[in-house]
């Protein structure tokens, strides 16, 4: 009994490391504010997935089986949130204010990203249903999945944010800036579609 840690680690790294709604938000945040001002937000994003893992491990999966409409409503709330974020990204400019650092989103804002990310829910559910042997103690399964995903996020989420900062250094104040932000918004929407219909990144 237990979790197939090696297989789940490969799965988790592939999901956390590839484009998805959360990573597009991190990329956009890094582009707008830079890595260092965004670190509290990144920390919130990293820990926010724990708000999904532990409730699912301790009974929410059973609720999903008995009340599927509840999860259907939750999914579309998540979709609306990600679309709103994409709209904000499309209208951001990298060079329209000297107080960008002071206005960087904080830890609490980051906590909301994964609970409102449909792919994050699918990723965690896959951990419990596809990589955990039936009969595994709930605490053992939950802590293994939680620590594995946390390790991947601690490494990979800051890299996406730093990549956004690098993009900003290239495009801020230049004609391509507007198209960059539209492109990031479009990728956020595309990654949401992939997460909903085909499976994709974090």
pLDDT at 94 > cutoff 70: no
Digit-coded pLDDT (tens) for 157-193? 999 999 988 888 887 777 777 787 788 778 767 766 7
Question: Cα separation of 133 and 49, whole Å?
Answer: 22
The reported pLDDT for the residue numbered 202 is 58
How would you classify residue 137: left for phi > 0, otherwise alpha for psi between -120 and 50, otherwise beta?
beta
Question: Cα separation of 135 and 120, whole Å?
Answer: 24
Give domain limits for the chain: 5-197
Digit-coded pLDDT (tens) for 138-158? 888 899 999 999 999 999 999
Degrees (nearest 5) of the Cα angle 14, 39, 84? 70
């Amino acid at each position: 009994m237990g979790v197939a840690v090696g297989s789940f680690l490969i799965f988790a790294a592939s999901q956390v490391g590839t484009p998805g709604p959360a990573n597009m938000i991190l990329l956009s945040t890094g582009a707008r504010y830079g890595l260092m001002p965004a670190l509290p937000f990144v920390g919130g994003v990293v820990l926010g997935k724990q708000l999904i893992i532990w409730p699912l491990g301790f009974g929410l999966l059973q609720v999903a089986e008995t009340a599927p409409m509840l999860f259907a409503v939750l999914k579309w709330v998540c979709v609306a949130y990600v679309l709103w974020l994409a709209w904000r990204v499309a209208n951001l400019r990298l060079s329209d204010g000297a107080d960008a650092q002071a206005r960087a989103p904080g830890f609490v804002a980051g906590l909301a990203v994964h609970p409102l990310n449909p792919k994050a829910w699918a990723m965690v559910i896959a951990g419990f249903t596809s990589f955990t042997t039936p009969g595994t103690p709930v605490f053992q399964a939950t802590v293994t999945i939680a620590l594995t995903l946390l390790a991947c996020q601690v490494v990979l989420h800051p890299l996406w944010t730093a990549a956004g900062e690098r993009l900003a250094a290239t495009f801020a104040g230049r004609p391509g800036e507007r198209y960059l932000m539209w492109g990031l918004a479009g990728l956020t929407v595309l990654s949401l579609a992939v997460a909903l219909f085909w499976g994709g990144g974090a």
